[in-house]
């Protein structure tokens, strides 16, 4: 689409007072100022183009509820995106984002955030302010850790973290009381925090392709996450029990036996 064709479409949208404008897969490399005069827009589709930046003027589209920016060449987002206070769905997958502006956390009505297939190496703790978030997709990034503040996303129901570089998870995520689906395959996890047994609403858990001390038969129980978590906790406690025994045998500590008894009691409870 050439510039003249684009301006004609924008002109027609303005004339019709359109609330929806889709410009998918049009080969756009830049956005004209005229686009940001469409203040009535509630849905804007710009996925599948060749955009490298989004102008700060995006803030003028203050009524936007849905914004598609997937499959472009974005390396950064303007802080002004935080002014889109009505935004509910934000699609940013398939770009080259290595970091997110802290202003993104001002999108207090956001319900779904797609960030898969980017180059994110870390998440800012301010993400915890997205209090209405129901779905967060972070598949295929470069994350090694997550901020403990993730546990404050109290409405989160689906969390996608497949194919990152995670080697540890924050125990605070056990506070995600509405979490129903958790995807963790293709990481470097050697254990789950013991506290995850508290995720009482969890209905699906994937942990394939992680160096976890658990039989593959249990990993296949993706729709029975409680069994996977209990098995991992049991394995972890058994390992601690063996370590405790070795330590006691070396030091001849009688009092250490109390810890051993405590671990055995927990193992019996887990088995039950």
- On average, the pLDDT of the chain sits at 91
Range with lowest mean pLDDT among 116-125, 149-158, 232-241: 232-241
Residue 130 burial by Cβ neighbours in a 10 Å radius (0-12, 13-18, 19+): buried
Across residues 86-107, what is the average pLDDT?
Answer: 97
Across residues 130-135, what is the average pLDDT?
Answer: 97
Domain boundaries, the chain: 3-234
Out of 3.40.50.170, 3.30.43.10, 3.80.10.10, 3.40.50.920, the CATH code matching 3-234 is: 3.80.10.10
Question: In the predicted model, is pLDDT for residue 86 greater than 90?
Answer: yes
How many angstroms separate the CA atoms of 25 and 12, rounded?
Answer: 19
Region of 242 please: left (phi>0), alpha (psi -120 to 50) or beta: alpha
Q: What is the pLDDT of residues 146-156, one digit of tens each?
A: 999 999 999 99
How many angstroms separate the CA atoms of 186 and 206, rounded?
Answer: 9
């Amino acid at each position: 689409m050439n510039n003249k064709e684009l301006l004609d479409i924008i002109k027609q949208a303005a004339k019709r007072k359109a609330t929806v404008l889709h410009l998918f897969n049009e080969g756009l490399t830049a956005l004209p100022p005229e686009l940001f005069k469409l203040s009535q827009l509630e849905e804007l589709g710009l996925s599948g183009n060749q955009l490298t930046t989004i102008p700060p003027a995006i803030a003028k589209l203050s009524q936007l509820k849905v914004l598609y920016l997937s499959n472009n060449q974005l390396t950064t987002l303007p802080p002004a995106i935080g002014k889109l206070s009505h935004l509910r769905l934000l699609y940013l997958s398939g770009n080259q984002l290595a970091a997110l502006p802290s202003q993104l956390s001002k999108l207090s009505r956001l319900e779904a955030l797609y960030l898969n297939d980017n180059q994110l190496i870390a998440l800012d703790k301010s993400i915890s302010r997205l209090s209405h978030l129901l779905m967060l997709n972070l598949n295929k990034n470069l994350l090694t850790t997550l901020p403990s503040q993730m546990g404050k996303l109290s409405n989160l129901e689906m969390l996608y973290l497949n194919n990152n570089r995670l080697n540890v998870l924050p125990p605070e995520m056990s506070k995600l009381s509405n979490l129903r689906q958790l995807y963790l395959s293709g990481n470097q996890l050697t254990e789950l925090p013991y506290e995850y047994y508290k995720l009482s609403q969890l209905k699906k858990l994937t942990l394939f392709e992680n160096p976890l001390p658990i039989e593959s038969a249990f990993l296949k129980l993706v729709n029975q996450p409680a069994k996977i978590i209990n098995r991992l906790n049991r394995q972890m406690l058994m390992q601690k029990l063996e370590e405790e025994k070795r330590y006691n045998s070396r030091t001849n500590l009688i009092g250490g036996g109390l810890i051993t008894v405590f671990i055995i009691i927990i193992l019996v409870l887990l088995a039950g």
